Amino acid sequence: MEADYRRVTALVTGASKGLGRALALELARRGANLILVARSESQLRELAAEIRRRHGGQDAEVIVGDLIAPSGPQQVLQDLDDRGLTVDLLVNNAGAGDAGAFLRRPLEPQLRTIALNIDGLLTLTHAIGGDMAVRGSGGIINVASAAAFLPMPFQATYAASKAFVLSFSESLAEELRGSGVHVMAAHPGPVDTGFFDRISATMQTGADTPELVAARTLNDYAQRRTTSYPGRPRYRAITWMGRVLPRVTAARVTGAINRRLRYDEVVDIA
């Protein structure tokens, strides 16, 4: 059964495109008030206008912020405070895709992946989650990945960053159990977005649509699950590889798959 989100104010990071955009639109369709966060003001304004056109109600708040910048997450928090906004649901969706041989790629873009996938998520969760804990209500959705469960040669930095999100989310969910604040990690498989915008890799065929993943993620959160596998069943099955096989074997299997996808040949293009 589809759950509504009326009377919920949701902050979605990375809302300007891809899965973040789909999550924002789905939340608005279900009645939530939106706070949209991303780097691109023009895309956020277009999304806010689309939400107003489709669903009416309260205008979405737009906060332009770069969560990779050292002061970026703090600036987002300052904007929330300046506007007197209270967040009921924090959706840490912003994330960077990554692929390629670790030692053959520049270090800087891989550090940006870590900054966005981990540092930005931690900073927002600590501040906003802290406010929720004081109120005794609220929720956090951390978008991780099916890759969180596996060592992944030629996606080493990305998979490791999502493994952090998995472990962190599970731990925080237990810390906050009974507090009124619910934490869930979502683990989609490949999603048909601009995941590889800055590198030469292309998304594999058979990726799930952002709309499907967004709807299933929100349904799972409404059911108070601590873990969501919002993609098709085969992508959930992949997560068991890292739990059943020896880690060395799992790494060899995923390495072979990524070689077939030619991720070992990836170069940076932007």
105 to 102, 181, 259, 269: CA distances (angstroms): 6, 40, 16, 11
Give CA–CA dist 196/200, Å, rounded: 7
**Which residues are known catalytic residues?**
158, 162
Token representation of residue 270: 């932007």
Give, in degrees to the nearest 5, the angle at Cα 143 between 31 and 94.
Answer: 85
Task: Give the residues across from 268 on adjacent strands.
Answer: 199
Token representation of residue 149: 């469960």
Give CA–CA dist 23/243, Å, rounded: 29
Give CA–CA dist 61/113, Å, rounded: 26
Cα torsion 219, 223, 225, 229: sign: negative
The phi and psi torsions of 99 (rounded to 5 degrees) equal -160, 160
Distance of CA 105 to the CA centre of its chain: 24
